[in-house]
Chain A
């Protein structure tokens, strides 16, 4: 940058000092407005979850009331919340771990080996990348029923493991591993599994963490699948279990304070996961950009 330009920008910087501050002010004001609008339904719902039914009927308000404990206890007992949460945690964790392990192994095979039918295997996996469960729900239900997996944990978790997202992610990552590293390992006499264990895995943790966030939330938030294949209260996951608190499609009068208390309990864990691990989640996106 020439000296003249530096001077110019300094001058304009000095003159614009006030203006720049106002610009920042409006940016922050708009962002705070966005944050509040985004948080609004949660704030209102939380307020409702602390109010009595009379207070809700009287007039809608954001006021926190004194019925927090009563409502949450009622929601917990009435929906069998302990069991629902256990099922959700179990299903989300099992399907996530299953997916991550399978993704690591199959991406390893695709990137670091040559074998017959490789491109067939490749497309078999990746064609499912965006094909969601609901599209093939009737026939998948039939398969689960034939296998005798209805209303079981196996039925709840194993079919969810057929996802290409993770394989795709690890494939992208493995392809950035320099070939010299593979050669070095081969010269050292390290076999493929040794290479996977001591070279690839230690470098994969940020990817594993990012994938964990996405898949855990995906598993926790499953709705149609558990709704279809479980029919006893003991096997319900929390997102589905909430239904039992709302009669009909919302046209009859549910006890909204109890429903809201249960909703708060059901959403808190995945929200904590996304907030605490968002660093990895965002880094994954930045990597995708490159």
Chain B
């Protein structure tokens, strides 16, 4: 965990680490404990009384059809953004790795949407896909038999937020994959080609296995991204609609707590999400640590 050689000082390390610990406690642990406490209480509709209800908020969630629906929606959204996003990024990175000339220019031209805030990315895409004024439905609508009206059609709304989420994170994924590809010794690929392997075979049997740590890392990062970071996208584009078609867990927790003021249920949802996030963090962390210690 540390250097073999260290400085000796009784109080300095505490002073150095104090600011970050203080902020972490006040803005992370305190709210987390408050959420835990809120989750086992119920507040009356007027907010004048609270009483202890034990695990009833959690039981209520598990029995609620809306929460089940939100779980399914979240699963579909997360799976699509993660799997499709990572697959496309891998394909682009493999292409980029082949192109020696102009690699940096291509990379820049793919990386820039990473700088665009998700709510803004959502605005750009929702207009591009707008059923009346958007250019995509205008031209594709004649070719593909699909109802592009994301204002009324749940599937179209889901497609819209998935596309916007993949688009924003694409450059990040590609840059990571490209870094991973460049860490693979060229001689290894060349040797296999000399041995008569086709480039597709070389990719399948040498590049992809060697790239698997990067792929794993990106899969977890994309799951975290789809689960938690896409709040602004959903809020600015669909507000969870139409009819709950894009109401992912993080949006539901916000809506139930802030808009419907159902604090107990919202806190219970927060606790579930926090457990999920902590699990993913520990998972990713153990993995990174193992890799570093090689």
Contact = CB atoms under 8 A, between A and B. Distances in A.
Interface stretch (A65-73, A74-82, A201-209, A220-228): A220-228
A136 interface: yes
B106 to A, nearest CB: 5
B145 interface: no
A224 B234 CA distance: 11
Interface in A252-284: 256, 259-260, 263, 266-267, 270-275, 278, 281-282
A242 B119 contact: yes
B17 A105 contact: yes
Interface string B144-188: 000000010000000000000001001100011011101100000
Contacts of A290: 183
B266 A138 contact: yes
A174 B34 CA distance: 35
Interface residues on A, range: 35 or more
The secondary structure that dominates the A interface is helix
Contacts of A109: 12-14, 16-17
Contact of A106 (B4, B17, B171, B229): B17
B111 A130 contact: no
A10 interface: no
A204 B284 CA distance: 25
Contacts of B75: none
A139 B267 contact: yes
Interface stretch (B18-26, B48-56, B61-69): B18-26
Interface residues of B toward A: which range?
A: 35 or more
A89 interface: no
B241 to A, nearest CB: 7
Interface in B104-124: 106-121, 123-124
Contact of B110 (A35, A191, A260): A35
Contacts of B134: 60
Interface string A104-132: 01101111111100110110111111111
A93 interface: no
Nearest to B117: A221
A131 B28 contact: yes
A208 B126 CA distance: 36
Interface stretch (B78-86, B200-208, B275-283): B275-283
A135 interface: yes
A162 B224 contact: no
Given A115-B14, A132-B277, A242-B120, 17 more contacts: A30-B95, A35-B110, A60-B134, A106-B17, A109-B13, A112-B6, A113-B13, A114-B6, A132-B224, A134-B254, A135-B277, A179-B3, A246-B236, A250-B238, A251-B151, A286-B179, A286-B182
Interface of A: 5, 9, 23-24, 27-28, 30-31, 34-35, 38-42, 44-45, 48, 56-57, 59-62, 102-103, 105-106, 108-115, 118-119, 121-122, 124-132, 134-140, 142-143, 158-159, 161-162, 167, 172, 174-175, 177, 179, 182-183, 186, 191-193, 195, 217, 220-221, 223-224, 227-228, 239, 242-243, 246, 249-251, 256, 259-260, 263, 266-267, 270-275, 278, 281-282, 285-286, 288-290
